[in-house]
Amino acid sequence: MSVVSPLKRLVKLTDIKLLTCIQQAKIQASQGQVVERIPQLAVANSNWFAVHICCVSGESISAGDTVCIFPLMSAIKPFSLLYLLECLGSETVFSWVGVEPSLDAFNSIEQLVADGGHPRNPMINSGAITLADKLPGNNASDRTQKFCQWLNQIAGCQLKLDEITLASVRSTGSQTNQDITCYLAEAGYVNNPAIALDTYEQICCLSGTVIDLANIGKLLACASELISPQHRQIVNALMLTCGLYEASFQYAVKIGLPMKSGISGTLLAVVPSEGAIACYSPPLDSAGNPVGAIALVQALSQHLQLSIFTV
């Protein structure tokens, strides 16, 4: 008798069951706040909620506002890491960034200074900006285009650069990210500060739907000739320990899945060997994680025993 995986059982749920779970998660989302510091993100409807669950078998289920297109923001960080691991190898990549969890906010300059300019991990801004400095390409636009084409080709998705959100990001002139980039350059981890920051801002503005997000998540969930198993393992491990910033420890216990959030309201959860869960819900908690999306993934994980630590 064959055993049906938990995630495969999930995609066989009725739409009514999943919608019930979403309604409960939306109640939790009301406790969060839509990000305000980027004008284009601030206009998002706090009631928007979308989820797409896909299995390695090809089965999938969607619910909610799935036509919404949103910038991935920090949810892109695992994939810039994956891209560089594939291009350059782990020894080179981890000569630039560490693998330690962050104890402070994702954009903490204080922690970077305390660490002597060495980024703790690739999931916080200092680490992602450092890796943006190393992406292949002559300038920020060239790097972003090459990276986006690579992702779209191997994942079968349709990510595009959101020029409107990029202009909104640039209009804020984030002093914190500028300070981080300058300090990284002084410490010798960034070679071209202007290109590094421009590249970072552009790749964070790559946009798509929850279906696109789930499809790139599948790259980390299942074996493929296109991606090294060792590199998938590395990225999943760092998502588990660092993907939700200073709250990562908490959700490793409560949910037990590799996850990555973004301040637009994105959340990607990887269920190794089974598939991916992608959510979009704009209201965030104080750490910058989407409240409703985490509530939904937590409910699904507990109900279906999706945690990688389940025995």
Using one digit for the tens of pLDDT, what is the confidence trace for 255-275? Answer: 999 999 999 999 999 999 999
6-66+209-304: what fold? Beta-lactamase (3.40.710)
Report, as an integer, the average pLDDT of 30-48.
95
Comparing 5-19, 68-82, 181-195, which segment has the lowest mean pLDDT? 5-19
Residue 13 has what pLDDT?
56
Report, as an integer, the average pLDDT of 94-117.
93
Alpha carbons 9 and 300: distance in angstroms, whole number:
11
Using alpha carbons, list the distances in angstroms from residue 191 to 34, 137, 274, 309. 34, 14, 39, 40
Tell me which H or E stretch contains 269: strand 266-271
Alpha carbons 292 and 61: distance in angstroms, whole number:
18
Q: Does residue 70 sit in helix, strand or coil? A: strand
pLDDT tens digit sequence for 179-234: 999 999 999 999 999 999 999 999 999 999 999 999 999 999 988 889 999 999 99
Residue 291 has what pLDDT?
97
Q: Where are the domains of the chain?
A: 6-66+209-304, 74-204
Same topology, domains 6-66+209-304 and 74-204? Answer is yes
Residue 1 has what pLDDT?
42
Alpha carbons 168 and 187: distance in angstroms, whole number:
29
Residue 20 has what pLDDT?
85
Residue 58 has what pLDDT?
87
Q: What is the DSSP string of 83-151?
A: HHHHHH-HHHHTTTS--PPPSS-TT-HHHHHHTTT--S-TTSHHHHHHHHTTSSSSSHHHHHHHHHHHH
Report, as an integer, the average pLDDT of 270-285.
96
**How many C-beta neighbours within 10 Å does residue 128 have?**
28
Of all residues in the chain, the percent with pLDDT exceeding 90 is 85
Residue 248 has what pLDDT?
95
Alpha carbons 281 and 47: distance in angstroms, whole number:
7
Of all residues in the chain, the percent with pLDDT exceeding 70 is 96
- Domain 74-204, CATH class in plain words: alpha beta
Rounded to the nearest integer, the mean pLDDT of the chain is 93
